[in-house]
Amino acid sequence: MRDNPEQIILPHKVKVKEIDSSILIEDEELKERRRKRITLIGQLLIGIFGFVLWELFAKWKIIDAYYWSSPSIIWETGLIAFTEGTLWSDLLYTSGATILGFLLGTFFGALLGLSFWWSYFYSRIAEPYLIAFNAIPKLALAPVLVILFGIGFSSKVVLAFMMTVIVTAIAAHSGVKSVDSDLEKMLFSLGAKKHHIFAKVVIPSAMPWIVSSLKINIALALAGTIVGEFISSRQGIGRMILYAGQIMNINLVWVGVVVLSILSVLMYVGTVWLEKRLLRGRRIRE
Amino acid sequence: MAIQRKEGSFTMYKLEVRQTNKIFKKEGKEVVALKDANLKIEEGKFISLIGPSGCGKSTLFNIIAGLIKPTTGEVLLDGKNIVGKNGNVGYMLQKDLLLPWRSILQNVILGLEIKGVTKKEAIERAMPLLQKYGLGGFEHHYPDELSGGMRQRAALLRTLLYDQDIILLDEPFGALDAQTRLLMQTWLLNIWTDFKKTILFVTHDIDEAIYLSDEIYVLSPRPGRIKEKVDVHLSRPRNEQTLLQPAFIDLKQHLFALLKQEVVLEK
C-alpha cells in the first residue's frame, strides 16, 4: 500500500466525484435571481396583455371607443398635444405645484410634529386640534383657497401643502411619542441638554415615521393640485382634462389621465429614492 | 439601620449619600421608595448593591446620577453636593441602549460629542479603547450586527469614555447567558483595574456580587433601605478559582441567608 499510494487515493477521488454529481446544491442567489426575473416578465406580460385587449376590444367594437378611447388613439392624441398643444408646459405646471407643495408640506409637517416633543402641555393641548384638522376634507376648502390665493400657481401649491402637512405632522408626532424614554435617560446621564436629545435621539427616532408618510403624501399632493386646477386655472393637466371634457374631446381626457398616471409613478419612484437617502446608514430589518 | 464601619475617622470619601429618602405619592398613599440611605464610598472601590426587586436600587442610582431628586438628603461627590445635577457620574442602564442608526464607533463617542469634543479627537480617543477591549474590527458595524456581550461592552466603553470618576452599572449583565457573563465579569475587572474608577454595581446574582466587589450593600424592600454592609476580603486578581475558596462559600452563605429572609418576608 505504501509503495503505491496513488492506487489508494485514486478510487477515493473518483468516488467523491460520483457523489458530488448526485448531490443537489441549491444556489440561493441563483434561485432568487430567477424568481425575480420570472416575476418581472409576468408583470410586463400582464401589462402588455391589458393594452392589447383594450386596443382589440375597441377595434372590434366590443367597447365603445368614443367613451373608452384606445391605446393607439391616446398615443396619437398625446403626440399632437405634446408637439402642437401645451401639454409640456401643463405637465411642468402640475408637477411643479405638486412637488413644491409636497416638499413644503412634508418639511413643515415634520417640523410641527417634532415640535410636540418639547412640551407636554403644548403637545396635549394641540393634539385634538391636529386630529380635527386632519378630519376636515381639505379638498372641500379648495374654492375658498382659490379665492384667497388666486387662480395662479400659488393656490395649487397651497392645496398640495394642505393635503400633506397634517399627515406628516401626525406621523412625526407618533414618531416622537415612540421615542424610548430610556434612551433619553441614558443621554441625560451623559450630561445631555434637551437640545442634544432632540438632535441625537428624537429626530433620528422619528425619521422612519416621517419617511413612511412620504409615499402617501406625494399622491395626496397630486390630488390637491389637480383639484385646484379643476376649480380654476389657466394651466395644468387638471385644467386640460376639464377643458377636454367640456368640449367632449374624450380622447384628450384619456391623454391627461395617462400622463398623470405616468407622472404619479415617476414621483413615486422619486419618493422611494428620497426615502433611501433619508434613512441612509440605517439598517432596516425585515 | 445601615451598619457603617469606619476605616479611619478622617477618610475623604469619593461619594457620600447622606440620609437620603425618596417618597412618592401614588393614589393618595405615600410610598417610600428609599428610606434613610447612607453610603460612604472610598475612591477606587468596587461596590455592589444586591437585593430583591423594589428595594430601591434603581431609585438610589437615579438619585446619584441626578436624574431624580430625593425627597430629603444629599449626595456628595468629592464633598460637593450634586443633588439633581446630571452628568457627574457615568451611568449604564440594564439595556445597552445603543442608538441603532449609529455605528459602534459613533455610539461610543456619544458622551464626548455632548461634551463638545471634536469628532476627530473623540475618534482618536475611542479607537485604542475599542481595539484593546475586544471591539477591534467592529467599529463600523451597527449594533444589531453584534452579540449581546459585545453590545454591552460598547455600552460600557461609551460610559467609560465619558470619563467620570464614578460609574454606576445597573445589572449590566442581567440579560447575558452564563458563559458570556463570566467572560464579561473578568473583562469588567480588567477595565476597572486599568482605569481605577469607582464602580457601583447593581445585581441580583450573589456570586457575581462577591466575585467582583470590595463591599456589598444588601438592600431590602418596602420600604427600600440598606440592611447590611458586607466587606469582601478576597485577594485580587480573582479568577474562577476564587469561586471555590472557603471564604467565598462563607460569604455566599451569609448573603444567601440575608436575602432569604427578604423573600420569606415578602410572602
Q: Indicate the SS3 state at residue B198.
A: strand
> Cβ separation of B114 and A283 shorter than 8 Å?
no
Comparison of pLDDT for A112 and B59, the residue scoring more: A112
CA dist B153 and B135 (Å) reads: 8
pLDDT tens column, B97-123: 999 889 999 999 998 999 888 999 999
For residue B4, the model assigns a pLDDT of: 46
Smallest CA–CA distance, residue A187 to chain B, in Å, is 8
Grid cell of B201 as nine digits: 454595581
Contact across the interface for B113 and A191, Cβ inside 8 Å = no
pLDDT tens digits, one per residue of A7-36: 444 444 445 455 555 667 778 888 899 999
Instruction: Report the residue count for chain A.
Output: 286
Q: Which residue among B86, B90, B101 places its CB closest to the CB of A188?
A: B86
Task: Give B214-262 as a DSSP string.
Answer: SEEEEEETTTTEEEEEEE----SS--GGGGGSHHHHHHHHHHHHHHHHH
Report the residue of B64, B68, B101, B151 to disrupt the A interface, i.e. the one with the largest count of A CBs within 10 Å.
Answer: B101
**Which residue in chain B is spatially nearest to A193 when comparing CA positions?**
B114
Q: How confident is the model at residue A227 (pLDDT cuts 50, 70, 90)?
A: very high
**A249 has a pLDDT exceeding 90:** yes
CA distance A212 to A209: 5
A 60-79 residues inside an 8 A Cβ radius of B: none
DSSP sequence for A52-79: HHHHHHHHTTSS-HHHH--HHHHHHHHH
Distance CA B45, CA B198 (A): 5
For residue A225, pLDDT beyond 90: yes
Sheet (strand B90-92) strand order: B90-92, B166-170, B198-203, B46-50, B215-220, B225-231
In tens, the pLDDT along B47-94 reads 999 988 778 888 888 899 888 889 998 888 888 888 888 888 889 888
For the stretch B126-156, pLDDT in tens is 898 888 888 888 989 999 888 888 898 899 9
Would you tell me the crossing angle of helices A250-278 and A237-246 to the nearest 10 degrees? 160
Could B87 and A191 be called an inter-chain contact, meaning their C-beta atoms sit closer than 8 Å? yes
Which backbone phi and psi does A152 adopt, to 5 degrees? -85, -160
Which of these, A60, A102, A79, A141, lies nearest to A219 by C-alpha position? A102
Crossing angle for the helix pair A214-231 and A142-149, nearest 10 degrees?
70
What is the band of A242 on the pLDDT scale with cuts at 50, 70, 90?
A: very high
B63/A contact by beta carbon, under 8 A: no
pTM of this structure: 0.79
Tell whether the torsion through CA atoms of B225, B228, B233 and B234 is positive or negative.
negative
CB contact under 8 A, B111 and A196: no
Is A208 in the B-facing interface, judged by CB distances under 8 Å? Answer: no
| B140 close contact with A: CB closer than 8 A | no
Q: How far is B219 from chain A (nearest CA, A)?
A: 24
Domains plus CATH for chain B? 12-89+198-267 (3.40.50.300)
Q: Is B153 helix (H, G, I), strand (E, B) or coil?
A: helix
B261 touches chain A (CB under 8 A): no
Pick from A233, A49, A262: nearest CA to A254:
A262
Residue type, A118: W
Question: Is the separation of the CB atoms in A244 and A252 below 8 Å?
Answer: yes
Gap from B258 CA to chain A (nearest CA, Å): 32
For residue A41, give the H/E element and its range. helix A28-59
Nearest to B217 by CA among B84, B63, B61: B61
Give residue A282's pLDDT band: very low, low, confident or very high (50, 70, 90): low
Q: HSE-up of B151 (CA within 13 Å, CB side)?
A: 20
Residue B102 three-state SS: coil
Which DSSP letter does residue A200 get? I
- Beta strand B90-92 with B166-170: parallel, antiparallel or unpaired? parallel
Cβ neighbours for B24, distance < 8 A, ≥ 6 positions apart: B30, B31, B33
Look over chain B and give the mean of its residue pLDDT values, rounded to a whole number: 85
Give B-chain residues touching A178 at CB under 8 angstroms. Answer: none
Residue in A196, A204, A281 closest to B114 by CB: A196
Q: Give the mutation candidate from A184, A185, A189, A278 for the B interface (greatest B CB count, under 10 A).
A: A189
